[in-house]
Amino acid sequence: MTTAEQFVRWACRLGPVPGVAGIRLHLADDVLGLWQRTEDAFGEGRQPPFWAFAWPGGQVLARYVLGHAGAVAGRSVLDVGSGSGLVAIAAAKAGAATVTASEVDALAAAAIVLNAQANGVPPPALVGDVLDGDGAGADVVLAGDVCYARPLAARVLPFLERAAARGASVLVGDIGRAFLPRGRFGVLDARDIPVMAELEDSGVKRAMVWAPVPEAPCWVHE
Ligand SMILES: C[S@@+](CC[C@H](N)C(=O)[O-])C[C@H]1O[C@@H](n2cnc3c(N)ncnc32)[C@H](O)[C@@H]1O
């Protein structure tokens, strides 16, 4: 039987992340083909292999964290919807005291561990769905590209609000997808990020780092 770790190694190639210097991930380049292979190996009804791709929200957020290490250094960090682990790995590289990755996909969990090892950082603590809570224990809550579907956004946004209300610093990476309520966030940073045209509708996307409005006093453009 193929293990999740063997499958990630078999299905992906370790390589650089477009737009995020200094981090390498196990990545695939054929979304639908990999989704089919995932179902062949582990059974039907699996969610798409989000973990095998870097998403623009995660790319811009990882880049921001690496460039603003003070946002996470010495602090406990929770990465929600971690996928490949890109944002969690960036937090570890930026000096977070502890990093926890929240994921619901067992293949993603395997990818997160492999990707952390490939980048020379300790694998983050892995937890499942924490969205009914407030991220207790985390000084910083990071969320890269988790507003891609209405049901998930409907749980993530109240979760982020609860985390912010208890004093956590909340940062969201997102291209401004339909389910992100822009009026409740301000933009801390914005970058043109190379993305897979197969996943998005073009090869480059403007991606932003968002924070709850009181923490986002200005726009930063490059
Ligand atoms: C679009 S991917 C983004 C991955 C990564 N943050 C990035 O930006 O590259 C969203 C991820 O959220 C995960 N996810 C979905 N529902 C979740 C939940 N309730 N709790 C934790 N993770 C969840 C999915 O499995 C998927 O890996």
Give the model confidence (pLDDT) of 23-34 as tens digits: 999 999 888 889
Q: Which of 219, 124, 109, 216 is nearest to 170 (CA)?
A: 216
pLDDT in tens, 134-163: 999 999 999 999 999 999 999 999 999 999
Mean pLDDT of the chain: 92
CA-CA distance, 6 to 124, in Å (whole number)?
Answer: 19
Q: For atom 8 of ligand 1, which residue has the closest CA?
A: 58
Query: Percent of the chain, pLDDT > 90?
Result: 80
174: number of Cβ within 10 Å: 27
146: number of Cβ within 10 Å: 29
Q: Which fold has domain 4-215?
A: Rossmann fold (3.40.50)
Q: Where are the domains of the chain?
A: 4-215
State the pLDDT at residue 219: 33
Residue 4 has pLDDT above 70, yes or no: yes
pLDDT in tens, 7-65: 999 999 999 999 999 999 999 988 888 999 999 888 888 888 999 999 999 999 999 99
CA-CA distance, 133 to 143, in Å (whole number)?
Answer: 15
State the pLDDT at residue 139: 98
Mutate to test the pocket of ligand 1, among 17, 24, 82 (most ligand atoms within 8 A of CB): 82
Q: 40 vs 88, which has greater pLDDT?
A: 88
CA-CA distance, 136 to 151, in Å (whole number)?
Answer: 22
Residue 220 has pLDDT above 60, yes or no: no
Mean pLDDT score, 117-122: 98
Structure tokens at 49: 């292999």
State the pLDDT at residue 84: 98
Q: Which amino acid is at 140?
A: V
- 140-144 and 76-80 as β-strands: parallel, antiparallel, unpaired? parallel
CA-CA distance, 184 to 173, in Å (whole number)?
Answer: 14
Structure tokens at 196: 């897979």
What residues pair up with 80 in beta bridges, in sequence order? 102, 143
Helix boundaries (H) for the chain: 4-11, 31-42, 56-67, 86-93, 106-118, 150-165
Q: Which residues line ligand 1 (CB under 6 A)?
A: 50-51, 54-55, 57-58, 80-84, 86-87, 102-105, 108, 129, 131, 144-146, 148, 152
CA-CA distance, 8 to 66, in Å (whole number)?
Answer: 25
